[in-house]
Amino acid sequence: MKAGDKRIHARTQVAATAIGLGCAQMGNLYRVTSYAESAGAFQASWDAGVRYFDTAPFYGFTRSERRLGTMLTDLPRDSYTVSTKVGRVMTPDPTVGAMEDGYAEPLPFRPVFDYSHNGIMRSFEASQQRLGLLAPDILFVHDIGRFTHGELHEHYWNQLTEGGGFRALTRLREQGAIKAFGLGVNEFEIIEDALKVADLDICMLAGRYTLLEQHSLGFMDECARRGVGIVAAGVFNSGILAGSNKFNYGDAPADIVARVEALRAACAEEGVTLQAAALQFPLAHAATLTVVSGARNAEQITANIGWFEETIPASFWNRLKERGLIADGAPVPV
């Protein structure tokens, strides 16, 4: 399997490479990332055949979209696929601090949640200008659900449903301004809810279908049956599958640490890199269109692509099954 292998979503004909570049780090996620570092990550991914790029207005408070748009501007439009997100309207605000929502030195635009018809349209039109694209390929509704909004979930859900947010997305698709839309979230249950009221095409699911966690397997199976594509993000589960002690954006609990150690032991016995297994596992499911990997610089994306293309023997996956380290019925790479 190569990073640049092309995969086509049957219903919309949206094309994506087997691995995509996630561009949150272009927005100074956790620390300042120079433009040169971001450009290096982009160029290294492009040279490896990657042609799918995911961004969002929220990443760096518009910085990521601006940077990615500059990198894409001289390339043929039909040579790449871009997804961005809606749900936050970026509003000028001189009080934005040096570190906000995990982004270092964000630009002076405050994210304001707005999933209404007007909010979706305002966000989309601003993204068009920052990216320099009339028609981004995919729009994801960013961070809708209780994971983000808690007790305010119903308020924002009503904006999306009764307030016309889904209607705006449907109209953009009908007009050809986008090819596909869906949700970009950290919880599969909200996608299940959305599928009851909207005709979703492709969704981004972060951290919920990974080598470490397959509680969403039934949901993934249903997506495959319905032709809903899944962009698998967060496949390192906040870093614990890549060497850190973080899981779900916090310190990993003891049971998770123990499970990772069991996975690591199986990797050692089979001569497999844990990061390689984590990157390759989600793509085996029929619903998965692509795996998105974030990278801060050329070295990081080159390492990720190397892991993604690493040969993993079938005996490794069999070993995980025998030890109950992956869910019954979860498909594995062949």
Alpha-helix residue ranges (DSSP H) falling in the chain: 35-47, 63-72, 117-131, 146-149, 153-161, 165-174, 188-195, 217-226, 254-270, 274-280, 298-308, 314-322
| Residue 85: active-site member | yes
Please tell me whether residue 152 adopts helix, strand or coil conformation. Answer: helix
- Give the 3-state secondary structure of 189-258: HHHHHHHCCCCCCEEEEECCCCCCCCCCHHHHHHHHHHCCEEEEECCCHHHHHHCCCEECCEECCHHHHH
Residue 51 structure tokens: 């042609």
Catalytic annotation, pick one of 52, 59, 115, 209: 59
In sequence order, what are the beta bridge partners of 183?
141
| Residue 251: active-site member | no
Between the CA of residue 94 and those of 61, 106, 172, 205, 269, what are the distances in Å?
12, 11, 32, 33, 55
| Cβ proximity of 291 and 282 under 8 Å | yes
Residue 205 structure tokens: 């699911």
Q: Give the count of beta carbons closer than 10 Å to the beta carbon of residue 275.
A: 22
55 secondary structure, DSSP code:
-
Cα–chain center distance at 171: 24
Catalytic annotation, pick one of 6, 47, 78, 85: 85
Burial tier of 73 (Cβ tally within 10 Å: 0-12, 13-18, 19+): exposed
| Residue 59: active-site member | yes
Residue 27 structure tokens: 């927005």
Q: Which phi-psi region, left, alpha or beta, contains residue 101 (left: φ > 0; alpha: ψ -120 to 50)? A: left
Phi then psi dihedrals of residue 149, to 5 deg: -100, -15
Q: Give the count of beta carbons closer than 10 Å to the beta carbon of residue 232.
A: 26
Residue 130 structure tokens: 């920052």
Active site residues: 54, 59, 85
